[in-house]
Amino acid sequence: MTDIKTTHVGSLPRPAEMMAKLVRKQEVTSEDLRQYLVTILERQLSLGITYVNNGELPRMDYVQATVSRISGFGDEAVAPLPRDLEELPELSRRFNARNGLITLNPKAPVKLPVCAGPLAYTGEASLREELAMMAGVYDELKPAHPDAAAGGLFFTAPSPGTVALFMENKHYPDDQTYIEELAAILKREYDMIADYGFQLQIDCPDLAMGRHTRFKDLSDSEFIDRIDLNVHALNQALASVNPDQCRVHICWGNYAGTHHCDIDLKTIFNPIMKVRARYVSLEASNHRHAHEWTVFNELAFPEDKVLMPGVIDTSSSIVEHPDLVAQRIFNFAGILGAERVIASTDCGFATTASATSVSGEVAWMKLATLVEGARRASERFA
């Protein structure tokens, strides 16, 4: 029997004790983090998830954690407002506080650093500390979970285009120079992660969500040109990483909008498949994109790639039935073959530490049904 493997996109709800300390502005020590990490990794392994990570616990969000390791960012600019919320002011007014890395209500803008000077990588020590802690805890836990631990660890980092999507360029002469400089900087981070033996996951909302946020004034063809620029820079940054050790996550944004302005998967399919990574993670189960599994009947998925479709919706508190999860997996595996599908989530559950769209107790129920759904799908292929 082919056992269909499982994973998730990266961010998991932070433990309640950790959130309480953050709200009270109390210090979260290295020992605290290690304790929380033991709990998070243990829960993933106990559920039987194949490829696990640290839940991005040490970070407030996945982009600014990387930016904090790069000098040259300063000042502030307002994060972009998605086109769907721009068109629906009544809905946008319901968001009265920061939610993620984009502005959801023009009257409550998210402020983000901008590139204000020459960039330089300064965060090797902090990155190595985060990597070493995850590896150490995992090595302690995996003897008790030999089956689950047969998969391994993954570690997330944003693409050059994603950093540029959120952090405006106020220093370099043009966007291409900025993207290329970011690629050269981030190459050091990618190489260090890969050197630890982990799967490197590159987060690329710039290749989909970018269309209706930063680049909402472009035409689709102009946005495809932007994808080509970003993918070329990313591939340069990944030049030293074995594609078999690399996964790329592409999404339209894990925020509570209507998403009626999302660009279709079919439109961006061919250019995004040029990323130098064997594993491709895509949103595939929320109400806007659940139908797009049929695209894989129409367009050729590269033979050297493995798909990690989202079969769990991370923007809803409704817990999927395992049979629905199995059905979603089977849709893809029936086209590509079970060995070319790894069941995953649509996006992260907590793209920022303060994100609360799905509570921790619900997130863990969803991850449990992910594993059970994969088991049932595997039985159908037996």
pLDDT of 260-309, one tens digit each? 999 999 999 999 999 999 999 999 999 999 999 999 999 999 999 999 99
Note the Cα 262 to chain centre separation in Å: 17
DSSP-assigned letter for residue 263: P
**Tens digits of pLDDT across the chain (382 residues):** 579 999 999 999 888 888 788 778 888 888 999 999 999 999 999 999 999 999 998 877 777 788 889 999 998 899 999 999 999 999 999 887 666 788 999 988 989 999 999 999 999 999 999 999 999 999 999 999 887 657 899 999 999 999 999 999 999 999 999 999 999 999 999 999 999 999 999 999 999 999 999 999 999 999 999 999 999 999 999 999 999 999 999 999 988 899 999 999 999 999 999 999 999 999 999 999 999 999 999 999 999 999 999 999 999 999 999 999 999 999 999 999 999 999 999 999 876 555 556 888 999 999 999 999 999 999 988 7
Enumerate residues 6+ apart whose C-beta is below 8 A from 41.
52, 54, 134, 137, 138, 141
In the numeric block, the tokens 């965060």 are attached to 123
In the numeric block, the tokens 């120079």 are attached to 177
| Domains located in the chain, CATH noted | 16-65+124-381 (3.20.20.210)
Note the Cα 204 to chain centre separation in Å: 7
Enumerate residues 6+ apart whose C-beta is below 8 A from 121.
69, 70, 185, 188, 189
**Distance, CA of 101 to CA of 241 (rounded, Å):** 28
Strands (E), the chain: 51-52, 70-78, 111-121, 152-158, 199-203, 246-250, 279-282, 306-309
**Distance, CA of 223 to CA of 174 (rounded, Å):** 16
pLDDT confidence of residue 99: 61
Which residue stretches of 151-246 are H helix?
160-166, 175-195, 220-237
Q: Is 122 helix (H, G, I), strand (E, B) or coil?
A: coil
Sheet holding 199-203, edge to edge: 51-52, 152-158, 199-203, 246-250, 279-282, 306-309
pLDDT confidence of residue 351: 60
Q: Is 343 helix (H, G, I), strand (E, B) or coil?
A: strand
pLDDT confidence of residue 149: 58
Note the Cα 266 to chain centre separation in Å: 20
**CA 281 vs CA 17, 134, 217, 250: distances in Å:** 31, 22, 26, 6
In the numeric block, the tokens 């090797």 are attached to 124
pLDDT confidence of residue 21: 81
C-alpha count within 13 angstroms, C-beta hemisphere, residue 219: 2
pTM, full prediction = 0.95
